[in-house]
């Protein structure tokens, strides 16, 4: 009963964004599960702990914990949990730019979900596949997969999954060039996430809503979506601060943009210290350094940005990621009156 209560507290704090506290509680419950020999609960808690660690930026630790949970699910013949662990670890590999591996794992999870009739898992696996195909530049396929996942989320009444899926679908439409459709979907995602109180969905949806507004040429709306949103979701902070800096640059508030770009670099560095192949952090860092170069006119920042783009290309050269990066760099470069980003442009297109 103690382990059960702790497990419920883990879920509450997880959805509120208290990932460190959730991880501590999960570790406490895990010790109890092992002490009483409850293998099923042990596997479940290992999976939950992996989810916490992933959202704190500890990607490799998350993969290791989830792999342990997957082994237990297979040992005890728990097919639904086996599928869930496969879906989770697929998402973790995707965050490191390992998209083909993520697709294979998600496809395996999808087969299990359909075999056992687990609609929630089916929607999650479809969403993972959609994200991978978007990052590979296959936008129509991504839109189709996310649309299927959204139908499932609404059918089963899973509001958390609905908010995440709306956000992912909005991202796919934005990548395909339809910013208006993206804003409509992302607005819905923000509304649902705010209603449920889920921090992850709210942070991601606001970040991409800000990006869509920038592409529509509305920096004030972009700033409203991204500026000073103190939601406790570490994984999205570098991108949020980057977008805030871009919006401030567009609004001719260069001094304020320097602070935002600097915070983007600092928070990206913190995440990269935990996982050096974190795609989102690598991308945000290179772009934020480019923003600092333009906002300050400091050639040293441009040199740092060029090196950062070389590092980013070493992590992934996936078409969708490259296109997204180029779009944001073009926004920054539109303010480059002195040509300080010339070496950055070369590094960004090796």
242 burial level (CB within 10 Å; 0-12, 13-18, 19+): buried
Say whether pLDDT at 105 is over 60.
yes
- Decide: 336 and 294 in contact? Cβ < 8 Å: yes
> Tell me, what's the pLDDT at 197?
86
Say whether pLDDT at 176 is over 70.
yes
- Whose tokens are 């500026």? That residue is 227
Say whether pLDDT at 230 is over 70.
no
> Tell me, what's the pLDDT at 92?
95
Distance separating alpha carbons of residues 148 and 169, to the nearest angstrom: 10
**233 falls in which pLDDT band (50, 70, 90)?**
confident
Q: What SS3 string covers the chain?
A: CHHHHHHHHHHHHHHCCCHHHHHHHHHHHHHHHHHHCCHHHHHHHHHHHHHHHHHCCCHHHHHHHHHHHHHHHHHCCCHHHHHHHHHHHHHHHHHCCCHHHHHHHHHHHHHHHHHHCCHHHHHHHHHHHHHHHHHCCCHHHHHHHHHHHHHHHHHHCCHHHHHHHHHHHHHHHHHHCCHHHHHHHHHHHHHHHHHHCCHHHHHHHHHHHHHHHHHCCCHHHHHHHHCCCCCCCHHHHHHHHHHHHHHHHHCCCHHHHHHHHHHHHHHHHHHHHHCCCCHHHHHHHHHHHHHHHHHHCCHHHHHHHHHHHHHHHHHCCCHHHHHHHHHHHHHHHCCCCCCCCHHHHHHHCC
Percentage of the chain exceeding pLDDT 70:
98
**Mean pLDDT score of the chain:** 94
> Tell me, what's the pLDDT at 350?
62
Average pLDDT over residues 31-47: 96
Measuring CA to CA, how many Å separate 108 from each of 10, 43, 75, 92, 115?
28, 19, 17, 15, 11
Q: How confident is the model over 248-282, as pLDDT tens digits?
A: 999 999 999 999 999 999 999 999 999 999 999 99
Distance separating alpha carbons of residues 130 and 140, to the nearest angstrom: 9
- Whose tokens are 């990607």? That residue is 59
> Tell me, what's the pLDDT at 346?
84
**27 falls in which pLDDT band (50, 70, 90)?**
very high
Distance separating alpha carbons of residues 340 and 7, to the nearest angstrom: 53
Write down the pTM of the prediction: 0.93
- Write down all domains in the chain, each with its CATH number in brackets: 216-350 (1.25.40)
> Tell me, what's the pLDDT at 293?
97
**232 falls in which pLDDT band (50, 70, 90)?**
confident
Q: What is the CA radius of gyration of the chain?
A: 20
> Tell me, what's the pLDDT at 271?
96
């Amino acid at each position: 009963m103690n382990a059960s209560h702790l497990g419920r507290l883990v879920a509450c704090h997880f959805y509120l964004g208290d990932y460190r506290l959730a991880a501590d509680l999960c570790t406490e419950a895990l010790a109890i599960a092992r002490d009483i020999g409850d293998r099923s609960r042990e596997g479940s808690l290992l999976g939950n702990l992996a989810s916490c660690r992933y959202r704190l930026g500890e990607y490799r630790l998350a993969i290791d914990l989830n792999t342990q949970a997957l082994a237990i699910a297979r040992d005890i013949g728990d097919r639904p949990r086996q599928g869930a662990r496969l879906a989770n670890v697929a998402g973790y590999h995707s965050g490191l730019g390992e998209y083909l591996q993520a697709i294979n794992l998600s496809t395996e999870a999808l087969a299990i979900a359909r075999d056992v009739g687990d609609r929630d898992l089916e929607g999650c696996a479809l969403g993972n596949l959609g994200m991978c195909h978007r990052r590979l530049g296959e936008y129509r396929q991504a839109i189709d997969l996310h649309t299927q996942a959204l139908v499932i989320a609404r059918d089963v009444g899973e509001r958390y999954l609905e908010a995440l899926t709306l956000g992912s679908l909005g991202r796919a439409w934005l990548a395909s060039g339809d910013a208006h459709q993206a804003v409509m979907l992302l607005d819905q995602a923000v509304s649902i996430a705010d209603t449920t109180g889920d921090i992850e969905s709210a942070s991601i949806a606001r970040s991409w809503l800000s990006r869509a507004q920038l592409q529509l040429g509305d920096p004030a709306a972009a700033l409203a979506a991204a500026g000073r949103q103190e939601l406790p979701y570490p994984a999205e902070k570098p991108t949020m601060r980057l977008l805030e800096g871009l919006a401030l640059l567009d609004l001719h508030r260069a001094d304020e943009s320097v602070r935002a770009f600097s915070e983007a670099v600092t928070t990206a560095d913190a995440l990269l210290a935990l996982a050096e192949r974190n795609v989102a952090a690598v991308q945000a860092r290179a772009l934020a350094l480019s923003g600092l170069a333009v906002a300050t006119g400091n050639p040293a920042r441009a040199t740092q940005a060029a090196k950062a783009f070389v590092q980013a290309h070493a992590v992934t050269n996936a078409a969708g990621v490259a296109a997204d990066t180029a779009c944001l760099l073009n926004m920054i470069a539109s303010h480059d009156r002195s040509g300080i980003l010339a070496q950055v442009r070369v590094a960004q297109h090796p």
